Amino acid sequence: MPESLRTELCGVPLRTPVLLAAGTAGTLDETAEILDLSRIGGVVTKSITRQARDGNPEPRITWTRAGMLNAIGLANPGVDAFAEQVAPRAGAMPCPVIGSIAGFSIEDYVAVAGAMEAAEGIPIAELNVSCPNVHGGVEFGADLGALSELVRAVRPVLASTKLLVKLSPITVGTPHTPADLARVAADSGADGLTLCNTIPAMGIDVRTRRPLLANVTGGLSGPAVHPVVVKIVHDVHRRFAREAGLPIVAAGGVTRWQDAAEFILAGASAVQVGAGTFADPKAAEKIARGLAKWVRDQGHTAVVDLVGAVAIDG
């Protein structure tokens, strides 16, 4: 991969700023069959919960005209099986691994954080406080007090592991903006932010009159959400992350290099590809190649020089 793409996230060196998003790349290393993982920036694991979960009934993935609807419901092997059978492979991965943590109580999150901390080869954890597809999935990420309490409880468990907090793009029904929640996460000990998870959504088959997903509702991702998340990344970067030196990892509709470039200009240090990998399993690799050419065309030698470099008058 070109030198110009080299960057770092919370002090962890990345070969490129293009990562695979949580839940879209298998539990850990399954995408190695279709993708050269030494050519991407990193992999985020499936979100791991304390107990094993089968997830929601099928159908739980479907496509809309502008993206993807999913209601996987955090299907995962649970923290014990993850620690015994999956995490030991993390150290052998050809790219950094970010361990995604989900839960339904502070104790749940703390237990999974302990497993991430104990694992060799998981230098960064990502706290998923924004899953729209399970009961209680967004509660921690929608309330300033609960979010602060959770991050403060998990932070000391991750003694040698950096912590990203992954937020929802939607705060409707609360008096807060995503930037308010981002600031609370940062003030409570987050080393960086992942912006964002999917947007609660629903589709209906008008012939059968049945919801497209067995769970009735799900999360929208892909191109439709991209401009929404560009604004959130820009707002968070401008309001405090830039000054605080807090890295933002942007997720939402990155399917082409232009989408990744937009996120970088808005203030993201790295991006994650989710739905894009379903559409084209090699998307992350292709996006990185496109980014390298863009950096050159912009007259720069390093992608990091373009972080937050959107040109706004005044």
Ligand X SMILES: Cc1cc2nc3c(=O)[nH]c(=O)nc-3n(C[C@H](O)[C@H](O)[C@H](O)COP(=O)(O)O)c2cc1C
Which residues contact ligand X (rule: CB under 6 A)? Answer: 21-24, 46-47, 61, 68, 70, 72, 74, 100, 128, 131, 166, 197-198, 221-222, 225, 251-254, 273-276
- State the Cα angle at 279 between 273 and 284, rounded to 5°: 35
Nearer to ligand X, 75 or 298 (CB): 75
- State the Cα angle at 65 between 64 and 70, rounded to 5°: 20
Nearer to ligand X, 192 or 222 (CB): 222
- What sign does the CA torsion over 248, 249, 255, 260 have? positive
Q: Compute the distance between CA of residue 275 and CA of residue 221 in angstroms, rounded to an integer.
A: 7
Known catalytic residue: 95?
Answer: no
Shortest distance (Å) from residue 70 CB to ligand X: 4
Residue nearest to ligand X (CB): 23
The CB density around residue 296, as the number of other CB atoms within 10 Å, is 12
Nearer to ligand X, 225 or 295 (CB): 225
Q: Compute the distance between CA of residue 271 and CA of residue 79 in angstroms, rounded to an integer.
A: 26
The β-bridge relationship of strands 204-205 and 61-64 is: unpaired
Instruction: Please compute, for residue 87, the number of CA atoms within 13 A of its CA located in the half-sphere on the CB side.
Output: 27
Shortest distance (Å) from residue 214 CB to ligand X: 14
Shortest distance (Å) from residue 220 CB to ligand X: 8
Shortest distance (Å) from residue 76 CB to ligand X: 7
Out of 10, 95, 131, 196, pick the active-site residue: 131
Nearest Cα to 36, choosing from 7, 16, 53? 16
Q: Is the peptide bond before 131 cis (omega within 30 degrees of 0)?
A: no
Where in the sequence numbering do the catalytic residues fall?
Answer: 131
